[in-house]
Amino acid sequence: MTGPDDLPRQREQDPAGSRPDPTRPDPTKPDPTMPDPDETVTEAITLPVASASASASSASTAGSAAGAPPAAAGPAPAAGATADDASPDGGSAPAERGRGTAEGGRGTAEGTGLTGDGGREIVRAGSVGGPSPAHRDPAETSRRQWWMKAAAVALCALLGLSLAAQLRRNQQDGQLSGARQEDLVRILDELDSRQQRLQTEISDLEQRRQALTTEAEGSETAQRDLEERATELGILAGTTPAVGDGLRLVFRPGRTPLRAEVILDAVEELRGAGAEAMQISGQSGGTVRIIASTAFLDVDDDLLVGDKRLTGPYTLLAIGEPQTMRAALVIPGGVVDSVEGATGTVQITTPDPVSVSATLSPASPRYAEPVD
């Protein structure tokens, strides 16, 4: 307790009256230990500090009006002091107690504002630089976390591969660096021998490939030749249809029927002139392919060609060089003269093209066999 005798000494030491304690925090400055109001959404209610300050100011004014110096109030009590610890004259103790209360309650009033009339003001502290982490899009956050995990996995995989390759290289280098000179020479000789063997195998494979290519080309050429030869033989044998330049002959009988020998002479003249394919048809509609083995016989007033009976007039088609075949037919004493002598007529035309469509079925030999 402070006695009456100690008041002048205290006034001398503290002539300005009650001074603020330098160890106490300044309520006008932000407390660094409190959280940033821009990152945390809180609600704070101001304390009625203004009323305490107003009481302190009225008490100081009353003391001045009575002629008492401002320092007579004595030393300021500590923050949070009770009314029993205040000085008996009731100077600035209420104000000091109000200040202590305001300063003691600063932990809950941080980030708030004070109104001029000592009332309450509610201030919400929000984020200034952008949305808070709690208000971010969950999909965007999940996608960002997924990409970060994927990048981390890829980096780990690359790091593992690099380490494995480096370890293998180090092991090989260590084995070679620790080998003797004789061993190194032997390893080098083995590598040279292996390279020579591989070169030999490569040469052999290249030769085989070249041989196979040549054989394939030869096979293709031979196959084309065989196909062309088969086509030619098929035309000559009457098993393949043919088309090309040629002549069309129409034989019409006169007062007497045309005999088979006249038609056979015409076929022989055409074959001798280079005819490659021929066929004959009658008025009845039958058509016969003419080959080397085709037979011509007289049956009453008709012709039996092969196995078909034909009635006149007869149409003979021949594929070959038209001018050569025409010249062979019109020579004196030839086919045309023979037909006209039998009171018949021959009409020769050059259609473009001549189509020989009749074919024969190939006959399998009964007795002949190919020679090996």
Do the domain assignments include residue 341?
A: yes
Residues 42 and 111 both lie in one domain: yes
- Report the pLDDT value the prediction gives residue 342, as an integer from 0 to 100: 76
Spatial neighbors of 75 by CB under 8 A, at least 6 apart, are 2, 10, 14, 18
| CA 2/CA 9 separation, integer angstroms | 11
Rounded Cα distance, 29 and 65, in Å? 33
44 compared with 153, residue with greater pLDDT: 153
Q: Please tell me whether residues 14 and 64 are part of one structural domain.
A: yes
For residues 244-279, one letter each, b for 16 or more C-beta atoms within 10 angstroms of the residue's C-beta and e for the rest, the string is eebbebebebeeebbbbebbbbbbebbbebebbbbb
Query: Using one digit for the tens of pLDDT, what is the confidence trace for 185-220?
Result: 888 889 899 999 999 999 999 999 999 888 888 888
Q: Are residues 104 and 149 in the same domain?
A: no
E-strand spans in 218-319? 242-244, 246-252, 277-281, 287-290, 296-299, 302-305, 308-310, 314-319
- Mean model confidence pLDDT for the chain: 72
The answer to whether residue 191 is domain-embedded is no
* pLDDT given for residue 30 in this prediction: 55
Compute CA 293 distance to the chain's CA centroid, rounded to the nearest angstrom: 68
Asked if residue 281 is part of any domain, the answer here is yes
Judgement on whether residues 12 and 111 belong to the same structural domain of the protein: yes
What the block records as the tokens of 43 is: 């609600």
Confidence of residue 110 (pLDDT cuts 50, 70, 90): very low
Q: Which amino acid is at 116?
A: G
Whether 148 and 70 share a structural domain: no
Kindly report, residue by residue over 5-45, the tens digit of the pLDDT: 544 454 444 444 445 555 555 555 555 555 554 444 444 44
Per mean pLDDT, which range of 133-147, 194-208, 216-230 is the poorest?
133-147
Average the pLDDT over 125-135 and give the result.
Answer: 48
Residue that finishes a domain, picked among 124, 157, 187: 124
Return the CATH number at 319.
Answer: 3.30.70.1880
Is 8 in the same domain as 118?
yes
Structural domain contains residue 91: yes
Between residues 92 and 280, the one the model is more confident about: 280
pLDDT at 39: 47
Give the total number of structural domains in the chain. 3
Q: Are residues 117 and 53 in the same domain?
A: yes
**Do 271 and 301 have their domain in common?**
yes
Classify residue 236: in a domain, yes or no: no
Question: What is residue 184's predicted lDDT score, i.e. its pLDDT?
Answer: 80
Residue 206: its pLDDT value, please? 93
Within a domain: residue 232?
no
Range of weakest confidence among 62-66, 175-179, 340-344: 62-66
Is residue 36 domain-shared with residue 73, that is, in the same domain? yes
Read off the pLDDT of each residue in 156-163 and give the average, rounded to a whole number.
Answer: 88
Is residue 76 a part of any domain in this protein?
yes
Do 91 and 51 reside in the same domain of the chain?
A: yes
The residue that leads in pLDDT, 127 or 279, is 279
Pick the closest to residue 109 from 33, 32, 45 (CA basis): 45
Is the residue at 204 inside a domain?
Answer: no
Query: Domain containing 93: what range?
Result: 4-124
Q: Are residues 15 and 120 in the same domain?
A: yes
The two structure tokens encoding residue 205: 């494979």
For the ranges 62-66, 138-142, 227-231, 259-263, which has the lowest average pLDDT? 62-66
Q: Do residues 156 and 86 both lie within one domain? A: no
Q: How confident is the model at residue 132 (pLDDT cuts 50, 70, 90)?
A: low
